[in-house]
Amino acid sequence: MKENRKKDNNAEPVLKGPKGQGAGFSRRVFINRGLATAGGAAILANAKSWPAWADVMEFEGTHTRMGQLAYDPETKSTWQSYVKIEVEVEEIDTEWGPTKATSASDSVMVKGKEGRGYGSPVNLSSGLAHAKLEPRLDARAGRVAVVWCGSDPDTREWSVHASYFDDQGWTGPMEVAGGMALHPDVALDPASGRAFVAYEDWKDKSIKLAAFDGKKWGTPVKISEAGYNYRPHLIVTDGSGKHGGKIAVVWDSYRDLQYDIHMRLISQDGSMGEEMRVTRCARWDSMADVIEDKDHNIWVAWVRASNELSEFNAMRNVHARFWDGERWLVPSVPEKLYNGSEFIHPTYLSDHGAKDNKELRRALGGEGREEGDGRVSWYSVCWFPTLQVDDKNRVYVFYRESDPLIFPLYSHLDYRVYEGDKWSGPRRLKLGRGANITRMMWGLSVAVKAKEIEAIWEQGFVNNPRVIKRAPRKLLAGLSGPMFHPWGEDSEETLYPGWKPRETMRPAPEMEVDGERHFLIFGDTHAHSWTSDGADPADYYYHYARDFARLDYFGLSDHDFRISNTPGIEAYIAFLPKVFSEDDFICFQGYEFTSGAKGHRCVVFEGDDKPTLPHRVFTPGKGDKVVSVGDLSGFIHKFGLSPDSRVMVSAHNMFDLGNDFTEYDESIEPLYDVMSQHIAAEKTLEEYVKEGVIGSAGSKAASVLMKLNQVVSGDAVTRDPANGWYSCWRHCLDASLPLGAYGNSDTHAVCGLGWITSGLWVRAKNRKAIFDAMFERRSIALDNLVRNFDVFNTFPFREERVKDTPVLRMDVRFWADDHFMGARPKLAEAPLLRASVKGHNPDDAVRSVTFVKNGREVHVARGGGDSSLQASWKDDHFLAGKNYYYARVEFESGNQGYSSPVFVNY
pLDDT tens, residue by residue, 58-112: 456 788 888 999 999 999 999 999 999 887 766 656 554 555 566 778 999 999 9
Q: Which of 69-78, 275-284, 585-594 has the lowest mean pLDDT?
A: 275-284
pLDDT per residue over 671-716, tens digit each? 999 988 777 889 987 787 777 665 555 455 556 656 655 554 555 5
Phi-psi region of 358 (alpha: psi -120 to 50; beta: other; left: phi over 0): alpha
Residue 388 has phi, psi (to 5 degrees) of -145, 155
Quote the pLDDT of residue 330: 79
Residues in the chain: 906
What's the alpha-carbon Rg for the chain, to the nearest Å? Answer: 28
245 φ/ψ sector (left φ>0, alpha ψ -120 to 50, else beta)? left
Asked if the peptide bond before residue 497 counts as cis, ω within 30 degrees of 0, the response is: yes
Residue among 208, 162, 214 at smallest CA distance from 193: 214
Name every residue whose Cβ is closer than 8 Å to that of residue 343 and which is 6 or more positions away in sequence. 354, 357, 360, 404, 794, 795
| DSSP class per residue in 428-463 | EE--STTHHHHS-EEEEEEEE-SS-EEEEEEETTT-
Rounded CA separation 374/323 (Å): 13
Give the DSSP letter string of 705-760. HHHHHHHHHS-GGG-SGGGTEESSHHHHHHTT---EEEE---BSSGGGTTTSEEEE
pLDDT band at 527 (very low <50, low <70, confident <90, very high): very high
In 3D space, the residue among 284, 770, 806, 181 whose CA is nearest the CA of residue 504 turns out to be 806
The kind and range of the H/E element at 113 are strand 97-113
**What is the rounded average pLDDT for all residues in the chain?**
79
Instruction: Specify the pLDDT at position 705.
Output: 59
pLDDT at position 479 over 60: no
Least confident range of 164-178, 245-259, 803-817, 829-843: 803-817
Cβ within 8 Å of residue 804, ≥6 positions away: none
Would you list the DSSP string of 34-68? TGGGGS-HHHHHHTT-----BSS----EEEEEEEE
For residue range 590-640, what is the model confidence (pLDDT) as tens digits?
999 887 778 889 999 998 777 776 554 333 334 445 677 887 887 788 777
C-beta neighbour count of 694 within 10 angstroms: 19
567 Ramachandran zone, left/alpha/beta (phi>0; psi -120 to 50): alpha
Tell me the pairing of strands 725-726 and 757-762.
unpaired
| Helical spans, DSSP H, in 549-601 | 560-563, 567-580
At residue 227, the pLDDT reads 94
Rounded (10°) angle between helices 567-580 and 538-547? 20
